[in-house]
């Protein structure tokens, strides 16, 4: 295995999804690669030079990439990719290898965690980093430097081909990073201003500088559709460490708004209250959004008030289905009565609430689908996303889908806009109609307009921005995307017989 030079030149790329128009791209600062760079710099001071390219902000053509790579000449190129972004990874790999055959290509992020060593079937990938990336990626850099304390086959979470071409798939690490000891993400490597005013995970745009926060990892629940990157054990930064990072971001970058990405920020209620109290004690001016969702049925009024006190303006509730039977199938087991109550309390506290709901779940009947739509429409949610089910590789749900769908031998590239309807009682065409109807029934009613108008800050701006967003989604993006997908299928159909 070749070595990299003494001072390694490392390029980290946050991928985009190839097929979507720019309208579909929710773009937030790439926290995963920011943590990787910060951790490696902390453990290997002075040994590496990092460059970060966020493709969702700076998209390049293959020709531009080739020119860029030949100029930068990185020794190591790391892709951070979601499963849904695999189309772009597949597209870029040959371009990168052609431009820089000597550079080591590493894949990390959710795609690597769910697909694992299987990604090495693609000859242009040198290493796969599964699970949490900080420790194995830094170990890999040491190994590439020739440090004998880091033999490749001992780096937990790493998969690669040895000199004979055999795949070595190291088991995941049992040692997880100590979250309190993590350095702050390397925000000096990006320009936070690039992320202002774009579509982001938080559905209501602000024009302020903001930064992500990721204060805990792991979740003790075991929903069948969820990833297992961080294991089933909840680990959290202490309240002090969280507020230290917030204060650092205020002082170093002038950031006061924070987008929290935790899977389950509110599991430890006392920690939430301590964070809120500490922010107040230090007199920090802060604003928070929780676009990744909270566990809505374990909240209570006291915790919601603490969240409001620290400046929470938006919170998503991951409901998924209003059918208790399907809740059991998913092993989510949300208490629907409780979550409805908490949505109501949050809305009364002027927290802009948003619901996540899924359509096309295993065994789901037409009646249960309508029940879910009605649950959302009759709640105090200000907004909602109805997602066609996207089963990600490596989850129990994906396994169910693979068993149910007759495989045509082609790699499946799932997306959020084409309902498959493979496991429910409702077929894809009807599901697609119900999916559009769900949005229509939810948003186009006076109750919703009233709720949004009375939701607190800048209600009129929120209404206009939501209305414009919906018009764009239905009239432009959904239609355009569907036509584009259909056109590609027709085009493929015409070409294939001639080249076969
Ligand atoms: S509660 Fe949320 S984070 Fe936890 S396993 Fe279920 S979906 Fe995943």
Domain CATH number, residue 37: 3.40.50.280
Across 386-407, average pLDDT: 77
Query: Is the CB of 14 within 6 Å of ligand 1?
Result: no
Cβ atoms of residues 412 and 390 within 8 Å: no
State pTM to two decimals. Answer: 0.88
Q: How far is the CA of 177 from the centre of ligand 1 (A)?
A: 20
Query: Is the CB of 264 within 6 Å of ligand 1?
Result: yes
On whether both 110 and 252 belong to a single domain, the answer is no
pLDDT tens digits, 421-453: 567 788 888 888 898 899 999 998 899 988 988
Query: What does the alpha-carbon distance between residue 9 and residue 362 come to, in Å, rounded to a whole number?
Result: 47
Give domain status of residue 133, yes or no: yes
User: According to the model, what pLDDT value does residue 428 have?
Assistant: 80
Q: How far is the CA of 349 from the centre of ligand 1 (A)?
A: 25
Cα separations in angstroms, 76 against 34, 110, 148, 395, 413: 16, 19, 19, 30, 27
Given a cut of 80, is residue 292 above it in pLDDT? yes
Given a cut of 80, is residue 140 above it in pLDDT? yes
On whether both 349 and 212 belong to a single domain, the answer is yes
Given a cut of 80, is residue 476 above it in pLDDT? no
Q: How far is the CA of 172 from the centre of ligand 1 (A)?
A: 20
User: According to the model, what pLDDT value does residue 232 have?
Assistant: 76
On whether both 119 and 237 belong to a single domain, the answer is no
Average pLDDT, the chain: 87
Given a cut of 90, is residue 405 above it in pLDDT? no
Structure tokens at 341: 């109550």
On whether both 222 and 129 belong to a single domain, the answer is no
**Burial class for 253, CB neighbours closer than 10 Å (0-12, 13-18, 19+):** middle
Given a cut of 80, is residue 384 above it in pLDDT? yes
On whether both 435 and 359 belong to a single domain, the answer is yes
Structure tokens at 293: 């969702």
Q: How far is the CA of 391 from the centre of ligand 1 (A)?
A: 14
User: According to the model, what pLDDT value does residue 85 have?
Assistant: 86
Q: What share of the chain is helix, strand, coil (3-state, %, to 5)?
A: 45, 15, 40
pLDDT tens digits, 316-335: 999 999 999 999 999 999 99
Domain count, the chain: 2
Domain CATH number, residue 323: 3.80.30.20
Per the structure, the complete domain to which residue 457 belongs is given by 200-488
Single residue among 148, 169, 190 that ends a domain in this structure: 169
What is the interface pTM, i.e. ipTM, of the complex?
A: 0.98
From atom 8 of ligand 1, which residue's Cα is the shortest distance away? 226
DSSP 294: E
User: According to the model, what pLDDT value does residue 490 have?
Assistant: 56
On whether both 163 and 208 belong to a single domain, the answer is no
User: According to the model, what pLDDT value does residue 406 have?
Assistant: 57
pLDDT tens digits, 17-58: 876 655 556 789 999 999 999 999 999 999 999 999 999 999
User: According to the model, what pLDDT value does residue 458 have?
Assistant: 65
Given a cut of 50, is residue 14 above it in pLDDT? yes
User: Is residue 483 very low, low, confident or very high in pLDDT (cuts 50, 70, 90)?
Assistant: low
Residue of higher predicted confidence among 452 and 136:
136
Give domain status of residue 256, yes or no: yes
Give domain status of residue 177, yes or no: no
Query: Quick one: CA torsion of 407, 105, 136, 245, rounded to 10 degrees?
Result: -100
From atom 6 of ligand 1, which residue's Cα is the shortest distance away? 223
């Amino acid at each position: 295995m070749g070595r990299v030079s003494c001072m390694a030149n490392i390029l980290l790329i946050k991928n985009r999804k190839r097929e979507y128009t720019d309208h579909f791209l929710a773009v937030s600062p790439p926290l995963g690669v920011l943590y990787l760079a910060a951790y490696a710099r902390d453990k290997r001071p002075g040994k590496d030079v990092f460059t970060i390219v966020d493709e969702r902000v700076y998209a390049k053509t293959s020709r531009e990439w080739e020119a860029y790579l030949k100029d930068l000449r990185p020794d190591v190129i790391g892709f951070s990719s979601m499963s849904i972004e695999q189309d772009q990874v597949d597209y870029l790999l040959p371009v990168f290898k052609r431009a820089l055959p000597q550079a080591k290509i590493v894949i990390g992020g959710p795609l690597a965690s769910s697909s694992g060593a299987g990604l090495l079937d693609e000859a242009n990938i040198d290493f796969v980093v599964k699970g949490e990336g900080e420790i194995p990626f830094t170990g890999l850099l040491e190994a590439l430097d020739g440090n004998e304390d880091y033999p490749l086959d001992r780096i937990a979470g790493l998969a690669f081909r040895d000199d004979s071409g055999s795949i070595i798939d190291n088991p995941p690490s049992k040692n997880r990073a100590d979250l309190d000891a993590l350095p702050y993400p390397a925000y000096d490597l990006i320009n936070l201003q690039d992320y202002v005013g774009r579509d982001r995970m938080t559905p209501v745009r602000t024009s302020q500088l903001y930064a992500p926060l990721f204060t805990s990892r792991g979740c003790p629940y075991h929903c069948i559709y969820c990833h297992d990157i961080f294991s089933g054990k909840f680990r959290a930064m202490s309240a002090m460490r969280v507020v230290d990072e917030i204060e650092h971001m205020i002082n170093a970058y002038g950031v006061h708004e924070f987008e929290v990405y935790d899977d389950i920020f509110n599991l430890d209620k006392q920690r939430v209250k301590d964070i809120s109290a500490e922010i107040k004690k230090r007199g920090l001016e802060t604003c928070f959004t929780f676009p990744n969702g909270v566990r809505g049925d374990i909240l209570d009024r006291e915790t919601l008030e603490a969240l409001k006190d620290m400046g929470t303006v938006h919170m998503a509730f991951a409901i998924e289905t209003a059918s208790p039977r399907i809740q059991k199938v998913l092993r989510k087991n949300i208490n629907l009565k409780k979550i409805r109550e908490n949505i109501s309390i949050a809305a009364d506290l002027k927290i802009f609430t948003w619901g996540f709901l899924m359509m096309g779940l295993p065994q789901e009947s037409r009646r249960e689908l309508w029940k879910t739509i009605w649950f959302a429409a009759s709640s105090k949610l200000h907004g909602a996303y109805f997602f066609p089910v996207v089963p990600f590789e490596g989850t129990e749900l994906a396994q169910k889908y693979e068993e149910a769908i007759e495989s045509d031998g082609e790699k499946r590239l799932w997306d959020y806009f084409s309902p498959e309807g493979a496991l429910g009682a409702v077929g894809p065409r009807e599901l697609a109609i119900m999916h559009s109807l769900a949005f229509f029934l939810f948003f186009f009613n006076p109750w919703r307009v009233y709720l949004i108008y009375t939701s607190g800050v800048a209600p009129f701006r929120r209404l206009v921005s939501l209305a414009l967003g919906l018009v764009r989604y239905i009239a432009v993006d959904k239609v355009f995307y569907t036509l584009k997908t259909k056109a590609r299928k027709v085009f493929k159909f015409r070409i294939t017989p001639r080249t076969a």
